[in-house]
């Protein structure tokens, strides 16, 4: 009977872990907006764009913090070759090319760009 109980417990745990890994996260805050919204709200309003960029920096810091040990440990989110103004331009360009995308998708692309070796 204890063997049957052990098999059931292992099966239940595996099912629970599988479901936990399949969960998605809900992105919230100003960065959860669409690119179309970002472009409309920031047009001619640098102070609003600054708020979006601050959200982006926090989001990327969270990605960096949650990275597994040994991954992205030395990643600089503000390298000399990619200062904040260039990052803001990257996000603006992303949204202009992808107005139907989410702003957070652009931030993820920026993060991947910062991870890429300098060329």
Residue 67 makes CB contacts below 8 A (sequence gap 6+) with 73
Report the predicted TM-score, pTM, of the whole model to 2 decimal places: 0.76
Q: Which residue has the higher pLDDT, 118 or 40?
A: 40
Given a cut of 70, whether residue 5 has pLDDT beyond it is no
Residues 6+ apart with CB under 8 A from 48: 41, 42
What percentage of the chain carries pLDDT values higher than 70? 77
Model confidence band, residue 62 (pLDDT cutoffs 50, 70, 90): very high
- Residue 45 CB: number of other CB atoms within 10 A? 11
Give the pLDDT of residue 111: 95
Judged by DSSP in three states, 53 sits in helix
For the chain, which residues make up each domain, given as ranges?
25-115
Mean pLDDT across 25-49: 93
* Span 8-31, pLDDT tens digits: 444 444 444 444 444 477 888 898
pLDDT at 118: 66
């Amino acid at each position: 009977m204890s063997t049957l109980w052990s098999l059931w417990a292992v099966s239940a745990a595996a099912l629970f872990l599988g479901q936990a890994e399949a969960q998605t996260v809900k992105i919230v805050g100003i960065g959860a907006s669409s690119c179309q919204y970002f472009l409309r709200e920031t047009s001619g309003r640098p102070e609003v764009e600054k708020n979006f960029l601050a959200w982006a920096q926090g989001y990327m810091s969270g990605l960096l913090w949650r990275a597994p040990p040994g991954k992205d440990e030395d990643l600089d989110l503000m390298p000399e070759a990619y200062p904040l103004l260039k990052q803001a331009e990257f996000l603006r360009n992303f949204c202009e090319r992808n107005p139907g995308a989410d702003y957070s998708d652009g931030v993820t692309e920026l993060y991947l760009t910062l991870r890429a070796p300098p060329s």
